[in-house]
A and B are shown apart, each in its own frame.
Chain A
């Protein structure tokens, strides 16, 4: 950041407070006799479950928090002690290690056990096994919402939407049985309406990166800013949060400041970050003045920038559309087209692919993506590998070498293009 300004850091500070309160509230839920549902981020149905009276736990968010707080490594080793293989997803192993160690988060919160597990995430068979393991451990009920993978390029079909919508309505009856509380359709409708408003703000924030310089790093900063819209979408606090972030970003725009003192290179980022080494990972890009102007990971919780909004007039149907359209439920043609359009709209100089060992849903196909961007689109593309949870897969010297070599070459390419 090149200079101080009025709303500096307010997005980060508020995010920490919101999440802190969120966890605190969760911890106290069982004492109040309130029910808890576990679910996944991508295509999550938070609004619906909250309208059924559930508190929400997102084990993926817990895993990334453990990654940042440097406790994912020991948690993963605990899971491996139980017999989980080295090849199993780091998020899963972190969660297994966490629960066998007492389910206490690094900041001190003790996570409540689930009364219901909702496997809402399409495109990852491992996640299904993850919740099966939790269901057995906690002896909790589990519901799988089957979300068909998008195979065509025209988006979900009417049959696919109807199929998912029917499952959501069936889920409501399960929720009512578990909570002993009647589903509140009006509360759900209002939450969905707030979601749509929040989504407008979030899209504005992300699209501000089309400016030069970009006022936001749409990866390294966006992955923090995105947390509330992923975990507490539909709440008043969430809507207020994005109003505050928008203020901060608007002020940056007015003052012409960006996340770095000088924007040298505009990059697109594909893949999740290396959470256990987040700062060092970002530093490797900062050094070259590289600012992310668009990323796919900031869309894993919802692809709103391509036009989708939750709709209070069609709360169930639009929820089904949302689940079907989540990033990792899109086929590779759609994912690649999305990145290609980002390259044009955000005037990016290069694509960086961070491939993670844990998540095959994300990573399979990335080698082909690299080939396509280099050969067909002539967009310089860097391919680097580590992991989103397991600190052992981060080879700093090798990664730094690749990043340095890539930006060196990019710099040469620019200089020679000017000659």
Chain B
């Protein structure tokens, strides 16, 4: 018995396939692009291939993320807010607060021990301080987005970046470079600025017990460090942080599939 979760985010589409013991047996990842249905189908096929199974062996699939209603193989849809909570508590059972920084959204989620959402808060409608902001900063620096986190950790001088606007960050960074400031110091400032913004969202839902950092940005060590410093908390992050929404969706899908199987057994 297998179940899948497909998370169609604004930037990337992710898929997780679980076996009946809730073990991850396949992952799929690609840029979302304009064709959401195609992206969701491809990550699903990729994850099934890695799991060594045929797509029809997956009994139930749940779509999540902004493109959740366009998931080609989806049986149902659940928001990524519920899915991130579910996934985070599965991987780190003591999680009570979740910070999810994705391509366009930053979310602070409070959960209970069962991975159910108790409260959540999101950034306002602009993409200030989200993954897109970091990507814009990387672009101005002529760096790959994967390089900026490690570079920020090399900072020796504290520098304040006041702007978190994804559009205006470019001129702010150019201004700092023009003033002769070092690249790693500027980047550390950029990371601190996002951490500050995220911390205020987290405080609104309440910073309880363990904090788990999810979403693509959690793979950035500079961001992880900035969030730890700012919140003064132990921050969990997994190798699968960017798959957390897909994992949560797959867990919901597996629960549905198991419930369905139980119903059938009772009926027969």
Q: Is the CB of B117 within 8 A of A408?
A: yes
**What are 13 pairs between A and B in contact, CB < 8 Å?**
A380-B119, A395-B125, A398-B105, A398-B122, A401-B81, A402-B122, A406-B120, A408-B79, A409-B81, A409-B118, A409-B120, A412-B82, A412-B116
Q: Which B residues are in CB contact (< 8 Å) with A416? A: 112, 114, 116
Q: Which A residues are in CB contact (< 8 Å) with B112? A: 416
Q: Is the CB of B82 within 8 A of A405?
A: yes
Q: Is the CB of A409 within 8 A of B116?
A: yes
Answer yes or no: A146 CB below 8 A from chain B CBs: no
Size of the chain A interface, CB-CB below 8 angstroms: 19
Distance between Cα atoms of A280 and B58 in the complex (Å)? 34
Beta-carbon contacts under 8 Å, B70-99 to A: 78-82
Give, as a whole number of angstroms, the nearest-CB distance from B65 to chain A: 9
Give, as a whole number of angstroms, the nearest-CB distance from B63 to chain A: 12
Q: Is the CB of B117 within 8 A of A385?
A: no
Q: Which B residues are in CB contact (< 8 Å) with A409? A: 81-82, 116-120
- Closest B-chain residue to A397, C-beta based? B66
Distance between Cα atoms of A413 and B124 in the complex (Å)? 25
Q: Which B residues are in CB contact (< 8 Å) with A395? A: 125
Beta-carbon contacts under 8 Å, A370-411 to B: 371, 374, 380, 383, 385, 393, 395, 397-398, 401-402, 404-406, 408-409
Which of B78, B112, B117, B121 has the largest number of chain A CB atoms within 10 A? B117
Interface class of chain A by DSSP: helix
Counting from the closest, the 6 A-B pairs by CB-CB distance are A405-B81, A409-B117, A405-B79, A412-B116, A404-B79, A408-B82
Distance between Cα atoms of A211 and B119 in the complex (Å)? 28
Distance between Cα atoms of A408 and B125 in the complex (Å)? 21
Give, as a whole number of angstroms, the nearest-CB distance from A33 to chain B: 50
Distance between Cα atoms of A412 and B248 in the complex (Å)? 15
- Closest B-chain residue to A395, C-beta based? B125
Q: Is the CB of B79 within 8 A of A401?
A: yes
Q: Which A residues are in CB contact (< 8 Å) with B120? A: 405-406, 409
Of A374, A393, A397, A412, which one neighbours B117 at CB under 8 angstroms? A412
Q: Is the CB of A405 within 8 A of B125?
A: no
Give A contacts to B, CB under 8 Å: 371, 374, 380, 383, 385, 393, 395, 397-398, 401-402, 404-406, 408-409, 412-413, 416
Distance between Cα atoms of A294 and B154 in the complex (Å)? 56
Beta-carbon contacts under 8 Å, B52-78 to A: 66, 78
Q: Which B residues are in CB contact (< 8 Å) with A405? A: 79, 81-82, 117, 120
Q: Which A residues are in CB contact (< 8 Å) with B116? A: 409, 412-413, 416
- Closest A-chain residue to B115, C-beta based? A412
Give, as a whole number of angstroms, the nearest-CB distance from B129 to chain A: 15
- Closest A-chain residue to B126, C-beta based? A395
Q: Which B residues are in CB contact (< 8 Å) with A398? A: 105, 122, 125
Contact with A along B105-117 (1 / 0, CB 8 A): 1000000101011
Give, as a whole number of angstroms, the nearest-CB distance from B189 to chain A: 27
Q: Which B residues are in CB contact (< 8 Å) with A397? A: 66
Q: Which A residues are in CB contact (< 8 Å) with B125? A: 385, 393, 395, 398
Answer yes or no: B204 CB below 8 A from chain A CBs: yes
Q: Which B residues are in CB contact (< 8 Å) with A380? A: 119
Q: Which B residues are in CB contact (< 8 Å) with A406? A: 120
Known A408-B79, A409-B120; 5 more pairs at CB < 8 Å: A385-B125, A395-B125, A398-B122, A401-B81, A409-B117
Which of A374, A395, A401 has the largest number of chain B CB atoms within 10 A? A401
Which of B66, B79, B114, B118 has the largest number of chain A CB atoms within 10 A? B79
Distance between Cα atoms of A397 and B68 in the complex (Å)? 11
Q: Which B residues are in CB contact (< 8 Å) with A402? A: 122
- Closest A-chain residue to B112, C-beta based? A416
Contact (A371, B204) CB under 8 Å given A395-B125, A398-B125: yes
Which of A374, A404, A405 has the largest number of chain B CB atoms within 10 A? A405
- Closest B-chain residue to A370, C-beta based? B204
Give, as a whole number of angstroms, the nearest-CB distance from B66 to chain A: 6
- Closest A-chain residue to B85, C-beta based? A409
Give, as a whole number of angstroms, the nearest-CB distance from B113 to chain A: 10
Of B82, B105, B119, which one neighbours A374 at CB under 8 angstroms? B119
Distance between Cα atoms of A380 and B121 in the complex (Å)? 12
- Closest A-chain residue to B116, C-beta based? A412
